[in-house]
């Protein structure tokens, strides 16, 4: 057996990494001057690096390790499935037990009449499926012009050409010819940064009604669907005002367009319910899933589709699918992950116990002089950094400068917390204990202190 070893010195690993490994969402040349941190192992909520440091992972990897690291059960299931049937496809009238069992489980867990699963290998692939599926749905129903999908600026729906176009990340759109045609964007419900003098409630309605205005502008007969994350994740954990989602739901219903809830982050307990749609009372026609579906132990995603959409799609040959759609090992691991989330009461604990505890502690960060608002739903939260709370002012420095400086202090303090612009975000494993939450908050506070000192030293403590 060829071993995977960690025994090269860190500097050597970093040099090899910089020379040969191209990293996502990174400036590659940067790795030559400052090597990447080499993660060698993990248990529970803690990562270990090649220098022996123990790091609290308040991001659950990339929002995905919901049951925490190091669960042997998933390794056992994967090994057993690989021996039994390591691979077979689900094209051309074939199927296998893991794909069947997982689809049944997901149909039981999903709300309402979302009873049908189309598998993918990731969230990006699943959203590409959705884009083609909603267009095919309307074409099959005799409305071939209903093709445009409306999304939101600063949404994240993946990194493939289709899903990246559905997303609203301007930095992504500037590279490689995105967005593709047939996608329109409206503004996000980010009250802290964009709400001006409006109350959050007024602002929520105003932003929701942009959807109505956009449908009118494009013509209802040309719009297929609206896609949105129940709570925006990669955009900075943006929690919409309470008025937003009821209004969006009304508009989708009245204007006869499909609603796609991108549950890639919100799904599988992150919000304290199985799905963010349940938490926020949304009734989608399609839900995108990935990440927490397998707690990141295997790459798997998919679309959970309503009876009505599945029936229409089922009447045509849908010329779409992936080699790894419903991969047996990934499906078996996902099923075991769902068993653990359920039988260990992890979702209930987020709803009733550790979630409320984290919310209270997280809210206390607004006592820090650099923190404006704190927003949290279940186990995804964000704080807005500001030099002037009452004005909700940004820093004079380019957006993200202060966030980055603070993120660097978190890193130094063995806390993985990300920054999105000048918001700091968390999304810890759902199994985090109260003691570990205390450690998270202590390290965050310490990092905010050090970040603020660095900002002042750099002469950046100025409202822009």
Ligand X SMILES: *Cc1c(COP(=O)(O)O)cnc(C)c1O
The footprint of ligand X (CB under 6 A) covers 122-124, 127, 156-158, 229, 233-234, 262, 264-265, 290-291, 301
CB of 412 to ligand X, least distance (A): 26
The CA distance from 277 to 267, in Å, is 8
Our CB check for ligand X shows the closer of 31 and 156 to be 156
Work out the angle at residue 57's Cα, subtended by the Cα atoms of residues 27 and 397, and round it to the nearest 5 degrees. Answer: 45
CB of 295 to ligand X, least distance (A): 13
Our CB check for ligand X shows the closer of 234 and 259 to be 234
CB of 62 to ligand X, least distance (A): 6
CB of 183 to ligand X, least distance (A): 15
Closest residue to ligand X, judged by C-beta, is 123
The CA distance from 179 to 23, in Å, is 22
The CA distance from 332 to 117, in Å, is 15
The CA distance from 207 to 144, in Å, is 28
The CA distance from 240 to 246, in Å, is 11
Closest CA to 278 of 292, 268, 288: 268
Our CB check for ligand X shows the closer of 238 and 265 to be 265
| Beta pairing class for 415-416 and 54-57 | parallel
Our CB check for ligand X shows the closer of 118 and 156 to be 156
Our CB check for ligand X shows the closer of 294 and 354 to be 294
Our CB check for ligand X shows the closer of 18 and 261 to be 261
The CA distance from 298 to 315, in Å, is 32
Our CB check for ligand X shows the closer of 63 and 69 to be 63
DSSP 379: T
| Beta pairing class for 148-152 and 114-120 | unpaired
CB of 262 to ligand X, least distance (A): 4
The CA distance from 60 to 337, in Å, is 15
Our CB check for ligand X shows the closer of 134 and 371 to be 134
Our CB check for ligand X shows the closer of 372 and 421 to be 421
Our CB check for ligand X shows the closer of 262 and 285 to be 262
CB-based burial label for 168 (10 Å; 0-12, 13-18, 19+): buried
CB 409 within 8 A of CB 426: no
CB of 459 to ligand X, least distance (A): 35
Orientation angle between helical segments 200-218 and 244-254, nearest 10 degrees: 20
Q: What are phi and psi of 388, to 5 degrees?
A: -150, 100
The CA distance from 427 to 378, in Å, is 9
CB of 391 to ligand X, least distance (A): 31
CB of 444 to ligand X, least distance (A): 22
The DSSP line for 309-336 is HHHHHHTS------TTTT-HHHHHHHHH
The CA distance from 136 to 436, in Å, is 47
| Beta pairing class for 418-420 and 371-377 | unpaired
């Amino acid at each position: 057996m060829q071993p995977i070893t960690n025994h090269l010195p860190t500097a050597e690993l970093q040099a090899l990494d910089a020379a040969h490994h191209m990293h996502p969402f990174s400036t590659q040349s940067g790795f030559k001057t400052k090597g990447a941190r080499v993660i060698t192992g993990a248990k529970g909520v803690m990562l270990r690096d090649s220098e022996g440091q123990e790091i609290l992972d308040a991001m659950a990897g990339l929002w995905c390790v919901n049951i925490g690291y190091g669960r042997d059960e998933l390794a056992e299931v994967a090994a057993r499935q690989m021996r039994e049937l390591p691979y077979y496809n689900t094209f051309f009238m074939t199927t296998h037990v893991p794909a069947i069992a997982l689809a049944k489980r997901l149909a039981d867990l999903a709300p309402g009449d979302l009873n049908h699963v189309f598998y993918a290998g990731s969230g990006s692939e699943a959203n590409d499926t959705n884009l083609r599926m909603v267009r095919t749905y309307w074409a099959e129903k005799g409305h071939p012009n209903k093709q445009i999908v409306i999304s939101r600026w600063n949404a994240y729906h993946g990194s493939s050409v289709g899903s990246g176009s559905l997303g609203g990340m301007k930095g992504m759109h500037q590279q490689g010819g995105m967005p593709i045609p047939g996608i329109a964007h409206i503004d996000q419900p980010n009250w802290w940064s964009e709400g001006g003098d409006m109350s959050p409630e007024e602002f929520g309605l105003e932003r929701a009604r942009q959807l109505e205005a956009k449908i009118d502008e494009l013509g209802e007969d040309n719009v297929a669907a609206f896609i949105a994350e129940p709570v925006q994740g990669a955009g900075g954990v943006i929690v919409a005002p309470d008025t937003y989602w009821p209004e969006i739901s009304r508009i989708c219903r009245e204007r006869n367009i499909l609603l796609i809830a991108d549950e890639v982050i919100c799904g599988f307990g992150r919000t304290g319910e199985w799905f963010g749609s349940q938490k926020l009372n949304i009734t989608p026609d399609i839900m995108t899933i990935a990440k927490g579906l397998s707690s990141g132990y295997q790459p798997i995603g998919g679309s959970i589709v309503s009876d009505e959409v599945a029936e229409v799609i089922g009447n045509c040959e849908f010329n779409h699918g992936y080699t790894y759609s419903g991969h047996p090992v990934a499906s078996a691991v996902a099923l075991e992950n769902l068993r653990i989330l359920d039988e260990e009461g992890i979702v209930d604990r987020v709803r009733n116990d550790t979630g409320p505890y984290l919310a209270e502690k997280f809210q206390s960060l607004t006592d820090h002089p650099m923190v404006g608002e704190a927003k949290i739903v279940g186990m995804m939260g964000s704080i807005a950094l500001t030099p002037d709370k009452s004005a909700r002012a940004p820093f004079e420095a380019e957006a993200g400068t202060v966030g980055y400086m603070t993120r660097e202090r978190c890193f130094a303090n063995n806390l993985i917390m990300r920054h999105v612009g000048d918001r700091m975000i968390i999304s810890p494993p759902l199994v985090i204990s109260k003691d570990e939450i205390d450690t998270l908050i202590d390290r965050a506070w310490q990092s905010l202190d050090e970040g603020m000192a660095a900002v002042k030293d750099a002469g950046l403590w100025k409202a822009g």
